[in-house]
Amino acid sequence: MSTVSRRVALVTGASQGIGRACALELARGGATVALAARNADKLAGVAEEIQAAGGTAEAFTLDIGDDASIKTCGKAVLERFGRVEILLNNAGITRDGLSMRMKRADWDDVLSTNLTGAFLLTQALLPQMLKLRWGRIINVTSVVGEMGQAGQANYAASKAGLIGLTKSLARELASRTITVNAIAPGYIETAMTAVLNEQQRSAMLPLIPLGRCGTEEEIAHAVRFLASEEAGYITGHTLDVNGGMHMA
């Protein structure tokens, strides 16, 4: 079993979906989890769920698209726990539309939240990771960032940018025993994919060799491994968790 015991983890977008599943999994592994998202009520529910199972978690309000909120949240987590050793940059949004008609605001919002926000939060936490000389940074990208997707130029660009950020940070931080990796989910059963109609699902499933959508828990298991001691010789890697949808 992958070891994250006694580590402090910060999970963004932890109020629901993949972020919630990852927070629960890290807590099951013995990590103390700082839960960050905009919805304070949902965060409180996740914290209570972890605490009821015997784990340790605390909620912190974060708008990953706002510079001031990122600084405030990072500072609050460090003041509360003294350190963050595992950072999961999971928070993200979509503003889909064909490129010809896409509004500048929809482009900016997605890039600012999905890519710039992840960079700024990482930057805010790096000084203390460097002092610890140990860290795990995991960025949640997407199969769309590897393959592209019609109607999602902004989302695909942001997720492809996360892959480039992952590789660059991995090279910069390796000498301090800080690994930086990405996970690229395929089609996962979440609130984001729940809006797909039956026709869209029928067109999607033949593209997946395993013939089904993935689960949030399957992403969480991969996150727990990359966050662990056992993954110490893996850095700069993008782990595809997509049922074979993209093989490169």
pLDDT tens profile 46-77: 999 999 999 999 999 999 999 999 999 999 99
Q: Which residue in the list 155, 163, 170, 245 is annotated as catalytic?
A: 155
| Distance, CA of 223 to CA of 193 (rounded, Å) | 20
Task: Look at residue 190 in the predicted model and tell me its pLDDT.
Answer: 79
pLDDT digits (tens, 9 = 90+) for 14-30: 999 999 999 999 999 99
Q: Helix, strand, or coil here: 117?
A: helix
Residue 131 has pLDDT above 80, yes or no: yes
Domain ranges of the chain: 8-240
Residue 139, strand partner residues: 89, 182
Number of C-beta neighbours around residue 140 at 10 A? 25
User: Considering the chain, what is the average pLDDT of its residues?
Assistant: 95
For 152-217, the DSSP string reads BHHHHHHHHHHHHHHHHHHHHHGGGTEEEEEEEE-SBSSTTTTT--HHHHHHHGGGSTT-S-B-HH
Top-confidence residue, 204 or 6: 6
143-151: average pLDDT: 93
The runs of H, that is alpha helices, within the chain are 17-28, 40-52, 67-81, 104-111, 117-132, 143-147, 153-173, 198-204, 216-226
Task: Write the pLDDT tens digit of every residue in 90-125.
Answer: 999 999 999 999 999 999 999 999 999 999 999 999
CATH node for 8-240: 3.40.50.720
The letter for the amino acid at 90 is: N
> pLDDT (tens digit, 9 = 90+) per residue, 2-11?
789 999 999 9
Is residue 155 among the annotated active site residues?
Answer: yes
Share of the chain above pLDDT 70, in %: 96
